[in-house]
Amino acid sequence: MLVVITLVASDTSTATQLAGRVGAALAPVSGPAERTVVLGPGAVDLVVEAAELAPIRRTVLDILDGADAGADACVQPWEGRRKRLLVADMDSTIIGCECLDELADFAGAKAQVSEITERAMRGEIGFEGALRERVGMLKGLPLTALQQCYDERVRLNSGAETLVKTMAAHGARCVLVSGGFEFFTRRVAAVAGFHADRANRLIEAGEALTGEVGEPILGREAKLAALLEEAAGLGIDPAEALAIGDGANDLAMLGAAGLGVAYRAKPLVAAEADARVDHADLTALLYFQGYRADQFSV
């Protein structure tokens, strides 16, 4: 089968040099490199013929780790690389913060909440129970704090808007699926260009939060269900979906997607994902799909 290795580095020269090293190192496990294509600044495709993906991935990651090049890579079959569905986590993926942690700051409980968040994202404790515990610390928080938190703390990560709007412009459906809260996903989805969003609901009483979250909680299995339902709604196979996330509650949807990408992820997630983005911004996901920089919409 044809296999495409996409390398995203700080500049085109570095990416091209890495492609040369990768091509030479792959000689024992693949056919000769068929072609090298520059997709944009710092992004290069290397196309080879190979029987299996796993040896290619190991070789590529070994080279990147050994070179300490600050580069990211994706190894996948050439056929079907451009996806028709994007399902993205929000906190620390599409945006640069954890909204619950930031809300807790307004309630004077950020240190306690952040510690629980970190353990949950590493998969050390169950997500649902951890969410209930953290939301409980927000009891009595005025509703005005939600808008203040959004205005002061929530920012799109670099490349997020370009990723979403480019895929949407080329016919893909883009869905934001978060273990966070509807208040934030609605606003982030609108700004970034997502078609839809799914998240949890904070319970209100009067002008304050009750410290409770609506049931059922959207966690790991609900994220997987969202991907499968969205794919079914489009009449496509999950293999035609791209999923991205950073925490343990993203693992099921990353595993079900045709391409599951770990973004600045916890070690457990990075180890199990098809590809990871540790250095580049979110436009790397466009390069992984074969988009050229002149096709970007933003």
Annotated active-site positions, please? Answer: 89, 91
Nearest to 6 by CA among 265, 271, 244, 261: 261
- For the stretch 185-218, what's the b/e string if a residue is b when 16 or more beta carbons lie within 10 angstroms of its beta carbon? bebbbebbbbeebbbbebeeeeeebbbbbeeebb
CB atoms within 10 A of CB 282: 23
Question: How far, in Å, are 76, 154, 170, 198 from residue 173 at the CA level?
Answer: 21, 23, 9, 14
Nearest to 209 by CA among 217, 220, 201: 201
Cβ pair 173, 237 in contact under 8 A: no
What is the three-class DSSP state of 13? helix
Check whether the bond before 216 is cis (ω within 30° of 0). yes
CB atoms within 10 A of CB 35: 9
